[in-house]
Amino acid sequence: MQNTDRTWAEIHLDRLAHNYQTLRKHTPKDCRFLAPVKANAYGHGAVIVSRTLFDLGCDYLAVACLPEALELREAGITLPILIFGYTNPKDAAYLVENRLTQAVFSLEQAEALSHALKSTGHTLSVHLELDTGMGRLGFPCKGTQCAPTDALAAMKLPHLDIQGIFTHFAVADMDEDDYTRGQFETFTQTIDWLEAESSQAIPLRHAANSGGTLCHSETHQNMIRPGIALYGVSPNPELIDADLKPVMELKTRIIQVRDFPEGESISYGRSYKTTGTERIAVVPIGYADGLPRILSGKMNMLLYGEAIPQVGRICMDMCMLNVSASKKVSVGDVVTIFGQDGSKSQSVHTLAALAETIPYELLTRVAPRVPRIYFP
């Protein structure tokens, strides 16, 4: 049963397909596509999104941690899965058993994984991660911190099958092309050195995130991994205008409508008081559903194609709207937080800017208790 009595997220799989094909058009035919489905596919539902991507011809998936990977395997997803984050070496055999690929970002980690597999005789598929200027995980290979010898040592360890190598761009979606080009140059030079010194070819190379895929075709290598763009959100709409369609729309329903006289306070903290007779509607969405409290009194929602101001503090499970200017308002009416409503739309970018954050955060924080309703 599709529960739309309270608050729900509509996931449009045809738009996911559109975005996938759009991104594919930016790459050569022989370039593989790795789809990040971490954080529950950016809030969209990892299992169903992964099944859809498999049907579309996607080559690879990526998650953040072992539990996310196991969820997909238990759901019957057979595509190769790369785990970006840390996995305890004691689970190395579990990685092999479930045909998972692990990112390796330090010699210490590589040695621990290799040692853990020694008694089993098994070999684990891994991708080496290089830090070319992100300043996060990875074998450092930039400037005075350059240590490709550690990556080379990892390549020579037993029980590790080096199937890929990658890096993360820091500003590929920003107007800092020189920095991205510098990262990419470091990446390719380090790979060339590693392959020459080890006499070992590394099959897969990937660096292009959404910004890299859309703005830096020279970085595509033989696999791309666009994340936010796959879900229909430009990583930077001021610089990147791509033919993308938002996959998720977030909606709720009015559960009460009341008229308040002038001077009445609304919600916690009495931060909002009516300035005259006002009609106030209550909708059952709050910060426990993923609507940031910082948006209190700053945002609009859409009702019958009109922008309606949210008033008062956003509560854990609900918030209030000033519907005084609306000609028709009834309990059960659908309200759109982001998405299309009649001739009007509100993007997740708009709300993210008001919340002083990024669209990634708003999408991924849509709570598990908010049902996802899928449209083919």
Radius of gyration of the chain (CA): 24
Residue with tokens 């890096």: 167
Taking the C-alpha atoms of residue 94 and residue 72, their distance in angstroms, rounded to an integer, is 14
Active-site residue, 142 included: no
Judge whether 47 and 75 are in contact, CB under 8 Å: yes
Active-site residue, 86 included: no
Residue tagged active-site, from 20, 156, 268, 304? 268
Residue tagged active-site, from 38, 42, 60, 231? 38
Query: Could you tell me the two tokens for 261?
Result: 């006289």
H helix and E strand count, the chain: 11, 21
- Coil vs helix vs strand at 329: coil
Write out the DSSP string of 194-226. Answer: HHHHHT---SEEE---HHHHHH-GGG-TTEE--
Judge whether 113 and 93 are in contact, CB under 8 Å: no
Q: Measuring CA to CA, which residue among 166, 295, 169, 165 is closest to residue 235?
A: 169
List, in order, residues 6 or more apart from 20 with CB less than 8 Å away: 33, 35, 53, 56, 58, 230
Query: Could you tell me the two tokens for 196?
Result: 């020459």
Q: Which residues are catalytic?
A: 38, 268
